[in-house]
């Protein structure tokens, strides 16, 4: 049992995954990342969290990555875990998520990369309650964006600022509504 | 919490804490709490339902079993383990909470979690959304057909049950069921690095709501179906995609 974060990092280091952050050089769109509890603290630890950061920085540019505080194995759960999303206790789930919301707001990031689907759903919902509605994206979306192979119909979770950035020249797909 | 003083009386038989301690390595260190409150100070669930992790441990120590077994806080703690990560005495509070959940009659546990677990038990895909083998195969192939029209991806693969593949990938049900186009970037990455991978027709679903339900037999079954399929296919690495 291994985490795909570690493999993404390995493939980038080996030159197999030719990600490039030039698309964000002038845009300077800021990203933060959620360390999923089950993957980082509960399974693979800080080495995997470092791999995750290496991947994100390689894709968005080191200067455009802003970490949450605290982070890695010490990060807060988003409030979507442990079945909370399906438990029906919505009010309590959002109250729990306030800590995560404050953490993300403090980074000033335009996007939060949430590489676990539970975190993604919760953090996406938390954004609706934030003063600035950050975007919540899967990690693979940002990898493919930085590879120049992300089509328009694969950009559901990107905001307008990234709808037309680094589009493959052959892309004839349309945005999904 | 009660305004009246709590009167401790002599107990017949084992307390809830005793029973939980028998199940955990080192008894979960449940007797080692220093009451420092580091757990509660760093817990996002502190204050919900008037509870926090330290209170849970103290209530267990005081034998307040009935209160522990009925507080809905068992479902407000996400068992994220940050408390035990921070605890100087390594007190396994999340496992105490797990056992609080398990003490609820199964049919009275939160319906959404219960339904997700039962849906996963209803099919060998282990999908908490009840997606069946043929549903998964159809959606994967349908999406794949579209991707193959893109230059450079004419030969992209998303195999199911490929014998001997190096990687066995899981996939959260929400992707094939609700947002199938979100599987495409993952497949593109696997294609570009030349990875030899496969999904399993059985056990591809990444989620395990039976674990959140605190149903031991059920979550073990879900995990076993997935691992057995990976073994049967001779895969070398079970690759968790989330």
ipTM of the complex: 0.97
Structural domain includes residue A31: yes
Contact check, Cβ <8 Å, A176/B181: yes
* A162-175 average pLDDT score: 89
- Where does A44-84 have alpha helices with state H? 45-60
Listed by number, the residues of chain A in 64-103 with a beta carbon closer than 8 Å to a beta carbon of chain B are 73-77, 79-84, 86-89, 92, 95-100
Beta-carbon separation of B150 and A170 below 8 A: yes
Beta bridge partners, A2, equal: B239
Question: What's chain A's average pLDDT?
Answer: 96
Place of tokens 């408390």: B83
Tally the domains of chain A: 1
pLDDT of residue A65: 98
Q: Could you list the residue range(s) of the whole structural domain that residue A14 is in?
A: 4-162
Distance from CA of B226 to the nearest CA of A (A): 11
Q: B181 and A79: CB-CB below 8 Å? A: no
The CA distance from B64 to the nearest CA of chain A, in Å, is 24
Contact A82 B151 (CB under 8 A): no
- Is there a contact between B175 and A117 if contact means CB atoms under 8 Å apart? yes
Q: How confident is the model at residue A78 (pLDDT cuts 50, 70, 90)?
A: very high
Instruction: Test A36 with B242 for CB contact under 8 angstroms.
Output: yes
Chain A contact for B10 (CB, 8 A cutoff): no
- Tokens found for residue B147: 């991707």
What confidence tens digit (pLDDT) does each residue in B111-166 have?
999 999 999 999 999 999 999 999 999 999 999 999 999 999 999 999 999 999 99
Q: Any idea how long chain B is?
A: 242
Task: Return the residue matching tokens 């005495």.
Answer: B89
Do the domain assignments include residue A176?
no
In-domain check, residue A175 = no
Measured between alpha carbons, how far is B57 from B87 in angstroms, rounded to an integer? Answer: 12
Which residues in chain B have Cβ-Cβ distances shorter than 8 Å to A150? 185
pLDDT at B1 over 60: no
Question: Is residue A167 domain-resident?
Answer: no
A176: closest CA among A147, A148, A141?
Answer: A141
Listed in sequence order, the DSSP H helices in B47-172 are: 53-61, 65-70, 82-86, 93-102, 111-121, 133-147
How far from the centroid of its chain's Cα atoms is residue A74's Cα?
18
**Residue B176 host element (H or E):** helix B174-178
B193 interaction partners in chain A (CB closer than 8 Å): 11, 16-17
- Domain membership of residue A63 (yes or no) is yes
In this structure, what token pair is assigned to residue A157?
A: 């979770």
């Amino acid at each position: 049992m291994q985490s795909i974060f570690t493999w993404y990092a390995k493939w980038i280091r080996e030159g197999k995954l030719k990600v490039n952050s030039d698309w964000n050089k002038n845009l300077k769109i800021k990203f933060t990342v959620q360390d999923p509890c089950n993957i980082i603290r509960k399974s693979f630890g800080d080495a995997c969290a470092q791999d995750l950061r290496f991947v994100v920085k390689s894709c968005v540019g080191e200067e455009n990555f802003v970490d949450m505080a605290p982070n890695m194995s010490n990060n807060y759960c988003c409030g979507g875990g442990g079945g909370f999303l399906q438990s029906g206790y919505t009010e309590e789930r959002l109250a729990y998520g306030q800590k995560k919301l404050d953490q993300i707001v403090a980074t000033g990031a335009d996007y939060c990369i949430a590489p676990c689907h539970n975190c993604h759903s919760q953090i996406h919902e938390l954004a609706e309650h934030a003063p600035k509605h950050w975007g919540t994206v899967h990690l693979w979306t940002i990898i493919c964006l930085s590879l120049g192979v992300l089509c328009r119909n694969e950009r559901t979770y990107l905001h307008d600022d990234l709808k037309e950035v680094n589009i493959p020249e052959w892309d004839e797909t349309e945005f999904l509504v | 919490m009660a305004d009246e003083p709590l009167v401790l009386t002599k107990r017949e038989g084992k307390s809830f804490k005793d029973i939980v301690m028998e199940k955990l390595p080192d008894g979960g260190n449940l007797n080692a709490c220093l009451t420092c409150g580091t757990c509660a100070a760093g817990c996002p669930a502190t204050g919900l339902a008037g509870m926090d992790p330290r209170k849970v441990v103290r209530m267990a120590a005081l034998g307040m079993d009935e209160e522990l077994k009925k507080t809905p806080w068992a479902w407000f703690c996400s068992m994220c383990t940050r408390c035990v990560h921070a605890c100087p005495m390594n007190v396994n509070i999340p496992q105490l909470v797990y056992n609080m959940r398990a003490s609820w009659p199964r049919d009275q546990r939160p319906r959404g979690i219960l339904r997700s677990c039962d849906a996963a038990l209803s099919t060998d895909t282990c999908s908490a959304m009840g997606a069946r083998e043929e549903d998964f195969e159809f959606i994967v192939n349908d999406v794949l057909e579209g991707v193959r029209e893109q230059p450079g991806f004419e030969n992209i693969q998303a195999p199911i049950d490929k014998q001997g593949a190096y990687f066995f990938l899981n996939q959260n049900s929400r992707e094939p069921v609700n947002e199938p186009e979100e599987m495409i970037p993952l497949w593109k990455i696997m294609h570009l690095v030349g990875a030899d991978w496969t999904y399993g027709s059985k056990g591809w679903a990444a989620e395990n709501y039976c674990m959140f339900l605190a149903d031991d037999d059920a979550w073990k079954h879900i995990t076993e179906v997935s691992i057995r399929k990976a073994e049967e296919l001779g895969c070398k690495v079970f690759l968790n995609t989330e």
